[in-house]
Structure 1
Amino acid sequence: MNTTIPDAVHPRFLKKPVFLYSGLKIALVQMSVGPDKAKNVEAAVKEIHKAKELGAQLVALPECFNSPYGTQYFSEYAEEVPGGSTCAALAEAAAAARVCVVGGTLPERCGPRLYNTCTVWGPAGELLAKHRKVHLFDIDIPDKITFKESDVLSPGDQITSFEYHGIKIGLGICYDLRFAEMAQIMTDQGCSLLVYPGAFNMTTGPQHWEVLGRGRAADLQVWVALVSPARGRDGYLAWGHSLLADPWGRLVAQLDHQPGTLLADIDLNTLEEVRTQIPVRRQKRNDIYEVLNKTSKSETS
C-alpha cells in the first residue's frame, strides 16, 4: 500500500493513508459493516494487522463495527463484555499485533440491560478500559430522521480515560461528542487525545460531524479523532468522513465515505505550543463558573 505525506495542513477526503510524523502513530479504520457478525469481526482483525504493518501503535475502530446500527439489531448481536467472542477476537488481535486497540463499539449485554460499549485492549491483550455510551441518541428531525436508542439501550454513567505510551486518552461514543462538558472533564483530568467512535447519519453528518470534532479540539486544546463506519447501501447510512483535528482546531486529515484508513501522529509538541500561546486553561474564571464531575468515579486504566 502506498502512503503519502500531505503538503497542506488539512488534506481532504483521502483515498490512501497519510502519515504525519512524530508522536504516537494512530490508525482510524473506516470499515464496511454488514449483517454477518463473524465476517465483521474478521474484517476488523485484518484491518488491525494491516494498520500495524503501516506502523500504527494505536488502532481505532468505528461505532457498531460488529453489527448493523439500529435498535432492531442490538439485542441479536449483543454479547457480554469482556467474555464475548468479539472481545476475545480484539484481545487476541491486539496481543498478536502488539498494538493498542480502541474497539469501536459493540452491543453489550449485562443482565437484562443492553449498552453501546467501547472496549480498549492493550498490546498484551489486556482490557485497558470500557466506556458505555453516556448520552443516548434520541432525536426527531421531521421528514428526515427519527431515532430513539433509549427504546433498547441503557445509558452509561461513567467518564472514561486510559493511558497508553505516556498519553492519557479520553473516550466518548458518537452522541457523546455533542456534550462539551463531558469532554471538558476528560481534558481537565489530563487527556491529550479524545477518541470518539461514531456513526453520524446523512442528516446530522454533513452539518455537525466536522464542526463538532474541530470545536472540541479548539475549545479544549486537545487532539480529537472521530471514527465512523464506511457508508453502506441499505438501512442506516453513516456519513463516514473519519477525521483527526489538532489542538488548533485544524482539520489535519479526513477520509471520504468509502472504506479506508487514516494514519497520523499525535504530536504533543503541537498541544503544548497551543496551550502556551493561548493559555485559556489558567485564564478560566473558576470563581465564576466551573464544570464538575458528579460520577462516583471515572473509569480509568
Structure 2
Amino acid sequence: MVLPGRAMATFRLALIQLQVSSIKSDNVIRACSLVREAAKQGAKIVSLPLLIDLCANVSLLSMKGSIPEEDAGKLYNTCAVFGPDGTLLVKHRKIHLFDIDVPGKITFQESKTLSPGDNFSTFDTPYCRVGLGICYDIRFAELAQVYAQRGCQLLVYPGAFNLTTGPAHWELLQRGRAVDNQIYVATASPARDDNASYVAWGHSTVVNPWGEVLAKAGTEEMILYSDIDLKKLAEIRQQIPIFKQKRSDLYAVETKKP
C-alpha cells in the first residue's frame, strides 16, 4: 500500500549500532555524530537501539530504540518515533515481555518490572508505512501479519538478543517475518560489549521481502545502510500473491482497517 502523494520508490534506511555505555552524555555525543553522518549519506529514516536526546537540525525521521516509560504507576518498554521537526509521531510499548528460562544459559523475567503494551503501532512516512515492534515482539508472527494487513511495507524492531538466542534465532526470525509477509524487516541492536551485565548479540540487519539479507553489521559500533526498494516489494507480491490467496474462510486474520 502506497499512500497518495508518494513518488519515491526507493529510500535509504540507516541503523545505528551504538556502543552503549553507562555514561549518557557519551552516548548522546556519539549518537549525534552517527546520525549526522547518516543524514549526510542520504538516509531518510534512522533507527537506534536506545532512546536518547538527539541533536537538532537533522532532517530525517528517527526511531529512538526503547527505554522504560512510567505511566500511571506502571513501567513499559517503549520506543518513540520522531519526525524531522521533532514531532512525536508514535510510541510503541513492547507487547510481549521477555520471560524465558533456558537451563544453564539464560533466565530472564521482564514481567517482574515491566507491564505489556496493548496497542499496535504503525506510522506513515513520505516513503512508506512502517510497523513497530521491540525485540521479543519479533517472535510473534501474528503481530507482523497484522502490520502487513494494515499496509506496512517496512517493519522495524529495535532489539538486543543475547549470545544464546542471537546466533540461533536473530537472523532466522527476521527472514521468517520478511518472507511470511513479503515485507522489509530491519533490526537495530546495540554493539556488543563483552564486559556488560547483558551482552548483546549485535548484527543489526536488513532483510528484503524475498528473505534475502541486504545488509548485516558485525559486533562493533557502526552505521548500517540499506536502500528500501518498494518497486521490488510490489514485484514480489505480484509474483507470489499470498495476500490474494490467503484462506481467511478457514482461519481468523486481523483485517481491521487503520
Report the TM-score range of the alignment, normalised by the length of the smaller protein.
over 0.9
- Listed as ranges, the gaps of 5+ residues in structure 1 are 1-21, 67-85
2:29 aligned residue: 42
1:29 aligned residue: 16
Give runs of aligned pairs for residues 164-183 of structure 1, distance below 5 A.
164-183=125-144
* Counterpart pick for 1:244 among 175, 192, 206: 206
Equivalents in 2 of 1:236, 1:225: separation in Å?
A: 22
1:211 aligns with 2:198: no
Equivalents in 2 of 1:166, 1:28: separation in Å?
A: 17
1:291 aligned residue: 253
1:267 aligned residue: 229
2:5 aligned residue: none
**Aligned-pair distance for 1:293?**
6.9
Identical-residue share of aligned pairs (%): 51
Give runs of aligned pairs for residues 1-301 of structure 1, distance below 5 A.
23-62=10-49, 65=50, 86=52, 89-90=53-54, 93=55, 95-234=56-195, 235-292=197-254
Letter aligned with residue 45 of structure 2: L
User: What SS does structure 2 have at the residue aligned with 1:96?
Assistant: coil
Letter aligned with residue 160 of structure 1: S
**Aligned-pair distance for 1:166?**
3.5
Equivalents in 1 of 2:105, 2:124: separation in Å?
A: 40
- TM norm structure 2: 0.93
- TM norm structure 1: 0.80
**Aligned-pair distance for 1:289?**
0.7
Query: Across the two proteins, how many residue pairs are aligned to each other?
Result: 250
Q: Tell me the alpha carbon deviations over residues 11-68 of structure 1, each in whole angstroms, 9 at most, x when there is no partner.
A: xxxxxxxxxxx61211001011111123223322222111111111111001xx25xx
- Listed as ranges, the gaps of 5+ residues in structure 2 are 1-8
Equivalents in 1 of 2:44, 2:135: separation in Å?
A: 23
Q: Which has the higher strand share?
A: 2
Task: Name the structure, 1 or 2, with higher relative contact order (CA <8 Å, separation 6+).
Answer: 1
Give the alignment's Cα RMSD to 1 decimal: 1.7
Q: Decide whether the 8 Å contact of 1:24 with 1:165 is kept in 2.
A: no
**Aligned-pair distance for 1:292?**
2.5
Q: 1:43 to 1:258 in 2, by over 3 A?
A: same
Q: 1:37 to 1:109 in 2, by over 3 A?
A: farther
